[in-house]
Homo-oligomer: A and B are copies of this chain.
Amino acid sequence: MIERVRVAVVGVGNNTSALVQGIAFYRQTGSLAGIHKPTIGGLGVGDIDLVAAFATSAEKIGKDVTEAIFMPPNNFPRLNCELPAADVPVTRGLVDATEVDRVAAALAGAEVLLYSAPSGRAETARAYAEAACKAGVAFINTTSDAVARDPMWIDRFETAGIPILGDDLASQFGTSVVHNALLRLLEERGLTLVSSYQVNLGGTEDFRNLVENPNTKKQSKLNALSADDKVQIAPLGYLSHLNSQKVAHLNLEALGWGETAVSLDVKLKVHDPSGAAGVNIDLIRIAASAIRNGRGGYPAEASPLLKSPPGTAI
């Protein structure tokens, strides 16, 4: 029987809630529904143990992670399963680089560090990367802050023989996935795009942050949509009633044979944190396989799961 992966996580938000609950759900039910890869490197989705969790919210610190994941502003729903206490109290996360050593010490016993805090705090992300490197722990950056796509950091991890994965996870199934698929489909079939739009609405704290600081994310989304100036993205809408659900409205107007009109309207409804957890579970297993096999640096097989892998603009 394979040894379970020991994972530390930074950020005890909705995405961590979905990850922790999902692991418990699949262990108990044996279901394979909604799982992208049943096994990676021999590791099933249940073969993950959380061994440490860092957060900065005073309310969450000290609570068991299985309790902290349900504290506001988290609003991912309770999955339909038992959730035994993890016996992992939430640890105070680092605030500045002077605390790298404390965090590195706290990572003893972990194999993988999943950095799952909000985007937009590049210094913090890099401090955790440094702590992981010192502790000999694989590092995954799920935020859009440039770490894994920074050649300096890849070099450091490669030299240390430790894997580093990132940046910016691509949701298992989100607006970009669907929009891109439809844009590609039009192209494959020889239709000519006239115009297209995308509106995203959500009720998580992540959404609220993005609404208040919209520019980077919107640009990143536009990049993800093949830089076509016929595609326009409306401002994100924070609607608290949606809780952890995201709703997207897409429209594509195109021309077919004889320049006759073709139109497509799509409504997509998903749980954003599920889309993140469904990819994090793969990144963790790729990271674990790499570190167990002594492969340092960036493992290329992670690229399809990332929006900004090494080689993309910083």
Contacts and interface: CB of A to CB of B under 8 A. Distances in A.
A191 B34 contact: yes
A185 to B, nearest CB: 5
A281 interface: yes
Given A173-B189, A177-B185, A232-B239, A259 B31 contact: yes
Name A's interface SS.
mixed
A83 B117 CA distance: 46
**Within the oligomer, what is the number of copies of this chain?**
4
A260 interface: yes
A25 interface: yes
Contacts of A262: 173, 268-271, 274
Contacts of A247: 251
B265 A267 contact: yes
B37 A190 contact: yes
Contacts of A29: 259
Interface residues of A, number: 70
A281 B269 contact: no
A85 B25 CA distance: 34
Interface string A65-95: 0000000000001011000000000000000
A268 to B, nearest CB: 6
Interface of A: 18, 21-22, 25-26, 29, 31-37, 77, 79-80, 172-173, 177-178, 181-182, 185-186, 189-192, 194-195, 197, 199, 201, 211, 230, 232, 234-237, 239-242, 247, 249, 251, 254-271, 274-275, 277-278, 281
